[in-house]
Amino acid sequence: MSSENIKVPDIGGDDVEIIEIAVSEGDVIEAEDALITLESDKASMDVPSPKGGKVLKVLVKEGDTVSEGDDIVELEVEGGEDAGDDKAEAAPAKEEAPAKEEAPKQEEAPKKAAKSAAGGKKTVDIKVPDIGDSAEIIEIAVSEGDEVDAEDALITLESDKASMDVPSPHAGKIVALSVKEGDSVSEGDVIGQIEVEGEGGDADAEEADAPAEAPAASAAPEQEEAPEDDAEAADDGEPQRQEVRVPDIGDSAEIIEISVSVGDEIDAEDALITLESDKASMDVPSPYKGKLVELSVKEGDSVSEGDVIGIVETAGAKKAAPKKAAPEKSAPKAEKSQSAPAPKADKSSAPAAEPSAAPAKDGKRVHAGPAVRMLAREFGVDLAEVPPSGPKGRVLKEDVQAFVKKALSGQAPAAAGQAPATGGSGIPPIPDQDFSQFGEVEEKPMGRLLKMGATNLHRSWVNVPHVTQFEDADITELEAFRKSMKAEAEAQGAKLTPLPFLVKACAFALKQFPQFNVSLKSDGETMVWKNYVHIGIAVDTPEGLMVPVLRNADQKSLLDIAREMAELGKKAQSKKLKREEMTGGCMTISSLGSIGGTAFTPIVNAPEVAILGVSKAQMKPVWDGAEFQPRLMMPLSLSYDHRAVNGADAARFTTFLSSVLSDIRRLLL
């Protein structure tokens, strides 16, 4: 037995990021088993193990960037050191043979493809590179007459396991296309012809031949120099300052939360700020790992695409940039790829196509290219929620961008976590009128909270079949007890109003009637039962309605509830509530008792399934069987989602709640 370091094969010139490690220390693997998955902005590929054996040590981690020759894992393989040396010596020999065989092909290809043009231009065949087995063309990205740059996508291929874009090897004009969507192609098939700039005649052929001869001799020195360059860059690299800017978010949005401070050490993809439009919110992640040295924004600022958020100081370690700065080294490879699209047929580098499908939440698979996946990660978007528009349900870059823009404008259902306000009802909007014809008018924009409230209420009203159950609760004894304890509560820092009693009673009732502590999923077939009791309290503020949530109300005393409600109320009035303090409610209480009224029909705060409306308590004559007695009666109005709650259960709930409020000793049972 001997150990051997498995290295990254030839993957092109630039460093590539590791997005997945498929093995762990101690795993026993076979030859061709995937070790890691690499991803650039255009493609992704698995790097297979050239040998079978036991993984002794994983030498890389997810997020690392690697290039040809970097160590991946230390592998314990069968056979002694001599056997290992023989294999190591055999590998270069195998690689030299194709290089010698390919050289003549590379010399001949331009001669066959190039056709001299009178105007100093030539027409070149564009062929399918080495893609392994045949694949179907699912998209053609160009048309005859289009001007394209080198590396622009021409067609998109898809097999049953992966998809890839085939780029143009030249810049020029597409003069003919030989394929169409649905065709099945394989290596060497002609995609079309491109007209490229040239000097014509034999000079062109000689110039086209020159690079084909050079790569075989120059590839080895270049591969040896690359790791050295990387090592020098890692040793000598100075910290670099990178500006972090707002990505494409559509219209401008307000910053409602800043998650970092100057001096914080952050990782790539850590949230920096949270943006909120009128109807949705999203986190903006950091594209870099490093130290935040400058913050250019503050809460309340309105930002749009391209605005600077701050500056991150990154370590001057190994990056793709140093290699891009040396075009003289990468030039031979670039020319090689133009003259011969399939430079290597080795299994280790053949899978240039990326896995086009990944498991989604609902068990289906999402079809998307690596550039689309990278864009989705930058925005923090779940591709399973993005409606695809490409062939065969493929998600395109434009789909992700449109999804983010709609999320911030309130048009994307997944961004807000609920159905759109219309709910597909097709109800025509109320037409605008020119009210100035009737008299003097003044137009004022709705506030942010007012607009959010209007949207949420409208969404609930058109999606939830509302029913309201009415009940009167006799709170005569409760009110007497409350008044007797008022001074004692104030001494303990709590203001004892009727509302804490209502919160406690509702929490108690939810434990007795768990069918009210549920939410319906958007598929209309699944019900989520909650094992916690969080109560939302509607608060009237100058800016609009807000609903802070009191958590674990069933586990708190009346005085604890009173103190926490007062704190949440102050935060609501001063607009300092955090998002986590306004989410997760099981049921909401909307009390108008301090204002007046005898009853009303509150709108369910979806995805909750019930809301309790409370009106002003009044002294009323109540028949006790012998005579009328003056009793303090509190009107209760319970609106509920009839899809989740039966009418009989609603009547039982309000009757039980009324009995608890009439005799609060029941809370002790």
* Model pLDDT for residues 471-487, shown as the tens digit of each residue: 999 999 999 999 999 99
Tell me: pLDDT of 105 over 50. Answer: no
CA 160/CA 179 separation, integer angstroms: 20
Q: What kind and span of H or E run contains 21?
A: strand 16-21
Mean pLDDT computed over every residue of the chain: 77
Q: Given this model, what pLDDT does residue 378 score?
A: 75
Note the pTM of the prediction, 2 decimals: 0.42
Q: Given this model, what pLDDT does residue 277 score?
A: 67
Most trustworthy range by pLDDT among 189-198, 269-278, 375-384: 189-198
| Relative orientation angle of helices 81-113 and 327-339, to the nearest 10 degrees | 70
Q: Given this model, what pLDDT does residue 543 score?
A: 80
Residue 187, classed as helix, strand or coil, is coil
Looking at per-residue confidence, does 531 or 221 come out higher?
A: 531
Tell me: pLDDT of 301 over 50. Answer: yes
The one catalytic residue in 170, 367, 458, 642 is 642
Q: Given this model, what pLDDT does residue 117 score?
A: 39
Q: What kind and span of H or E run contains 280?
A: none
How many other C-beta atoms can be found within 10 angstroms of the C-beta atom of residue 397?
15
Would you say 607 and 623 are in contact if contact means Cβ atoms under 8 Å apart?
no
Q: Residue 31 contacts by C-beta under 8 Å, 6 or more apart in sequence? A: 48, 49, 50, 51, 52
Residue by residue, DSSP assigns 57-94 as EE---TT-EE-TT-EEEEEEESS-HHHHHHHHHHHHHH
Q: Given this model, what pLDDT does residue 317 score?
A: 44
CA 8/CA 13 separation, integer angstroms: 12
Q: If pLDDT is split at 50, 70 and 90, which confidence band does 585 have? A: very high
Length of the chain: 669
Tokens of 435: 């009210």
Q: If pLDDT is split at 50, 70 and 90, which confidence band does 365 have? A: low
Tell me: pLDDT of 139 over 90. Answer: no
Query: Distance of CA 663 to CAs 474, 489, 504, 620, 666, Å?
Result: 9, 20, 13, 18, 6
User: Lowest-pLDDT range, 418-432, 490-504, 584-598?
Assistant: 418-432
Tokens of 16: 């590539």
How many other C-beta atoms can be found within 10 angstroms of the C-beta atom of residue 381?
24
Q: If pLDDT is split at 50, 70 and 90, which confidence band does 101 have? A: very low
Q: Given this model, what pLDDT does residue 557 score?
A: 93
| Relative orientation angle of helices 498-512 and 647-662, to the nearest 10 degrees | 130
Q: If pLDDT is split at 50, 70 and 90, which confidence band does 42 have? A: low
DSSP state of 116: B
Query: Distance of CA 506 to CAs 175, 225, 370, 404, Å?
Result: 74, 72, 50, 39
Looking at per-residue confidence, does 351 or 446 come out higher?
A: 446
Domains of the chain: residue spans and CATH: 2-77 (2.40.50.100), 138-180 (2.40.50.100), 466-668 (3.30.559.10)
What does residue 416 show for φ and ψ, rounded to 5 degrees?
-90, -10
Q: Given this model, what pLDDT does residue 638 score?
A: 97
User: How far out from the chain centre does Cα 638 lie?
Assistant: 37
Dump pLDDT digits (tens) for 613-647: 999 999 999 998 999 999 999 999 999 999 999 99
Residue 630, classed as helix, strand or coil, is strand
The sign one gets for the Cα dihedral 378, 383, 389, 392 is positive
Q: What kind and span of H or E run contains 409?
A: helix 397-409
CA 155/CA 138 separation, integer angstroms: 8
Would you say 170 and 142 are in contact if contact means Cβ atoms under 8 Å apart?
no
CA 370/CA 353 separation, integer angstroms: 9
CA 591/CA 601 separation, integer angstroms: 12
Tell me: pLDDT of 262 over 60. Answer: yes
Looking at per-residue confidence, does 468 or 411 come out higher?
A: 468
Residue 642 bears catalytic tag: yes
Dump pLDDT digits (tens) for 438-460: 999 999 888 877 888 888 888 89
Q: Which amino acid is at 263?
A: G
Query: Distance of CA 345 to CAs 13, 94, 102, 340, 528, Å?
Result: 17, 12, 11, 12, 53
Looking at per-residue confidence, does 207 or 493 come out higher?
A: 493
